[in-house]
Amino acid sequence: MKRRGARSSNSTGRRMESPLEVYDEPGHLIRRAQQIAVSMFHSTMGPGVTPVQYCVLRILQEHPGIDQVTLAKFCGLDTSTAADLAVRLEERGLVRRMMPVKSKRFRLLHLTPEGTNLLKRLVPCSERLARRLLQALNREEQKVFLQLLKKFVHLNNEASRAPLDRGFPQGRNHNSRSFAR
């Protein structure tokens, strides 16, 4: 990583390493990568659905009938955001929220036929998006990049304000590979 200058001195006269340029800081690079990914998402997938809404729809496709709290865990969202998303997607006719007869404390979520049809159109677009996001890297770089990205996300999951919980036993809430520290 680039440093602005080799070394500098502080008020005590001790030599210190110069700070990273902001453009080389990991947090800045991750934020920029997110901006680029979202921009490419919209230009590839088209208007009408956000990346988070797409995730919600895909989770409901894979897990029909889950409640909003489980949806939040599976998407890595806080429960109020998941509830708001479910309401908005219901208003658009993409999701049906049902209150079970035995309990009025939670809602079960299902895709509507409109939601299912939207996903039939979006999933192939998502595959094109994945290729676009990685096209600047050669095959080996793509593999390494994805492995490191998964490792970073997995090892820092608990630092998130809404940790992802895919419903696996403790320690398995990541892709099928193990991650060494």
**Virtual torsion, Cα 101, 107, 110, 111, nearest 10 deg:** 140
pLDDT the model gives residue 170: 55
**Residue 151: inside a domain:** no
Indicate whether 117 pLDDT > 90.
yes
Q: How many domains does one find in the chain?
A: 1
**Residue 98: inside a domain:** yes
Most confident of 3-12, 29-38, 96-105: 29-38
CA distance 26 to 6: 20
**Residue 72: inside a domain:** yes
Buried b (16+ CB within 10 A) or exposed e, 76-105: bbeeeebbebbeebbeeebbbbeeeeeeee
Q: Quick one: average pLDDT of 114-119? A: 98
> The domain that contains 104 carries what CATH number?
1.10.10.10
Q: Quick one: average pLDDT of 127-132? A: 97
Q: Quick one: average pLDDT of 14-36? A: 88
**Residue 49: inside a domain:** yes
Residue 45: which domain range?
20-122
> Pick the residue with more confidence: 18 or 144?
144
**Residue 40: inside a domain:** yes
**Residue 92: inside a domain:** yes
**Residue 89: inside a domain:** yes
What phi and psi values does residue 162 have, to the nearest 5 degrees? -140, 80
